[in-house]
A and B are shown apart, each in its own frame.
Chain A
Amino acid sequence: MNKENSIFFYMKKIQDEYLELLLYLKKNLTIENLEFLLDEVKVFWDKRKNKIHSILSSIISDNLNIGYLTCATQLDVDDNNFLSFLLYGDHHIFDDPLPVRLQISTSKTKLSSYFYEKTIELISDNIRVIGELDQKIWIIPVRYLYSSIDTFQDLTSRIDDIFISLFDGITSMNEYFQKCTSVEDINMNLNNKINKTICLSEQEPRNFSFIQKFNKIKHHEIIDKLSFKNDAEVFYFQMRSYILQALDIIFTSVNSRLVPFIRFKPAFLNFQLLVDNFQKVFPELNLFKNKSYIYYLIYRKMDVQNFDKKNILFVISKIEMNRISNKIDSLLLKDKLDISLVNSKLDECLLNLYESVINTST
């Protein structure tokens, strides 16, 4: 086979070129250069957009065999948690937030210095992903290249409508800010069901009340930096970002036919919640939703401690040998997921994987 004409060769070439750029960024990133480097990164991806579209569209199968890990600040090579991602699907992409991160860093807002620091960490982690993971995960700014949310102006203006729909008896944003200032006010007006199920942060216990959940996020570094006037503003800011993010993922997935793997719990739950509203327009979203759920379930179930002290590429090779796509995809053909069946199948697959890793010397 002529490897130089293989579609994967072109993807590797793009990844190698990106690695070169990341190394340049790592060396040259300064506050003064930020604008130019943001432009450099954007231009880099704009020039490769058609190639990425062409490569991915030629390897995506009807049963959606490519996943993208999104809403993560970085992949974090040192943390084995990303390994769960590789167990399902044929190809895997880390949705690189670098263009967005650089954009915020140059925004001269209260958040820019915070995101500037995060950008430096992200660049280093991306360098390691490309350098150490042997193309097992491609780094592509999926949402930057595929999102079309900006073109749906109607939709973005309706985020407020979606936000308002979380409440009983509030019909406009004006009314929201009139009726709510404190967390107690929000708690009183929130729809009963939402009040119980809403998820605001990664680590919140299930039995937390809404007020406890809210207080947990209220003092997050970002919220602190933005100095909001009252709790109503904080809640609006937080929910608006979650809704926007969920919509962005929905449109990116429809455009790209890539399955989102969202490990950040609030983002995942908001995506699962909102995606149903679009299934009439995009019936294929049901499959995206179910597959996204499977990714999340594996992530929650996989005990990565089993892989401690093992060579990462060895573990990845074992994961690839134990891929579960065929076993799981047959369960997804039905409209509704049989959760208990999926759970038992996943447990069985994971046990096989652990055994295979533990019982083989590296």
Chain B
Amino acid sequence: MEMSKLSSHKFEKGLFVTPLNTIENMKLNHWNFERLPAYLWLGLVIKKYGHTDGLEKCFRIIEFISKNYKTIELPTLNSILLLSEDYQREIYEFVSKHVEPITLAPLSLIYTFSKHPTFNKFFNIKQKNDSRKEKLVDIIDETYNHQSEISTDIRFIIVWSATLTDRLKISKDLTLIEALHKYAYCNHDDEIMRLYRPTIRSTEGVFGSFMNSMYDQSFNEEFWKEISEMTDCQLFVVNFGNDDDVPDANKYVQHIKGIGVYYENFFRTFKPISKKAEVILSIFVYSYKRLVELVEHKLYCEISGRTIIRSLIENYIIVKYLIDEEKNHTNIWEEYMSYGLGQYKLILLKYKEKETAPKESHVPVNYIEAILQAETSDAFLNMDTRYFDKKSIREKAISVKEKDLFDYYYDYDSQFEHGLWGAIRETTSLICNNPAHKYHHSLDIKNQQKLKSVWDDSRKAMNLIVDYLDQIYPLPVKVKEYE
């Protein structure tokens, strides 16, 4: 199914609302969770006898039920199982005349003898090789998607039954009237079925949402619980990348290191007391160190790889922002340093003043104190808990005309940095391919799932930093050149 367009959403107070969610009382109803278990028995009949023969058998059974048992409005298994044993016996005898009893045997795994003895006496047929579980999983697999052929056949039966019992009255929908007469006798390959199928599905969908009371949710929950317990997870790992598959990474790191060596020499020799050079070149080296981490530890396809590229992009935006804003500040470089040291001061004071502060942690309290004492005068160092220059990274990106970097990279990588659900789902959830488990997720505790490599984008981000620095502190061609 095609995704809805961003432009079709309504933006209200920071929230993009989808078109359907703007309609009052509209709610998602699930074919597979809320209605399928009640009709799976018909699915087994259709699967066994095929589209036309299967539907004809279902017609006969449903006509019999609707004629003789007025309390049953729709042919749901839950309503049949609630009938007295005598009534159940009559129905099962009729079903057994038209359908080989073994057809419904898979359901005896769910509806066992202790709770449904009559059902079992008719349909729990002993087989040499018990394949009930496999058959049950197969039919769930084929009907799980509400648009599959068998699902549409079952949904046709629902619509047909509803018209039979007058639960559904059709007045003007000529396509539906035609479909009710011809659907069972057309092949799924016939062109006309491309019209019938969506008509049937949409009718059943709307009808289903009005007939919610007919579906016993505890019956559905019990069904999914029972079937999920008797089958194993079929987990598959999504593996987008290979951490070893980056042949040029070391060569590139050496190239950036060469640039770093040049800048270190340049800074020490020509700009030793320039705050601007110190800030910009330090940010460059910080970026380089993150790049080295990426390469030395082969983090290309790991979560850490994403936090590294996010850091590279942020460093680039900050450098560009500081340069752009230089003209608007007396000394933006000192402000930037003070902002960072102020953050450190706040952390230090919490450690020193709060009794609950841990005695042992990875925070080097004494070292932070030494840095602060050496760099600033405590009496004049504010602690700003807002964004630097009161602008978020998004606003800074817009300001330096790099919003695309924010939209297409930084925003995505931030999900990983903050452990938001999308990132957790992508990295940590393994998909279970077992329809009986409702395609649930399991946990990638073996760390098998590999993300798409960040290498190419990290290199591009690093190149952006280098190219920008080259405009500020031009690099000799020999240093900049990369073969």
Contacts and interface: CB of A to CB of B under 8 A. Distances in A.
Interface of A: 21, 24, 28, 33, 35-37, 39-40, 43-44, 46-51
B171 interface: no
A47 B113 contact: no
Contacts of B117: 36
Contacts of B226: 47
A39 B126 CA distance: 9
Contacts of A47: 226, 229-230
Contacts of A49: 230
B66 interface: no
A50 B229 contact: yes
Nearest to A37: B113
A225 B109 CA distance: 35
Given A21-B114, A33-B113, A39 B124 contact: yes
B123 to A, nearest CB: 11
Interface in B219-270: 226, 229-230, 232
A36 B232 contact: no
B108 interface: yes
Interface band, chain B = 10 to 19
A104 to B, nearest CB: 15
A28 B113 CA distance: 11
B229 A39 contact: no
B108 A39 contact: yes
A193 B120 CA distance: 55
A43 B232 contact: no
Candidate in B109, B112, B133, B229 with the most chain A CB atoms within 10 angstroms: B112
Candidate in A24, A33, A35, A36 with the most chain B CB atoms within 10 angstroms: A36
A39 B113 CA distance: 8
B10 interface: no
Contacts of A44: 112
Contacts of A21: 114
Interface string B102-140: 000000110011100100110010100000010000000
A36 B230 contact: no
A20 B443 CA distance: 33
Contacts of B109: 43
A50 B232 contact: yes
A39 B112 contact: yes
A47 to B, nearest CB: 4
Contact of B120 (A36, A48, A50, A51): A36
Given A36-B121, A39-B108, A46-B133, 12 more contacts: A21-B114, A24-B114, A35-B124, A35-B126, A36-B117, A36-B120, A39-B120, A40-B113, A40-B114, A47-B229, A49-B230, A51-B229
Contacts of B112: 39-40, 43-44
Interface in B200-219: none
B135 to A, nearest CB: 14
Contacts of A39: 108, 112-113, 120, 124, 126
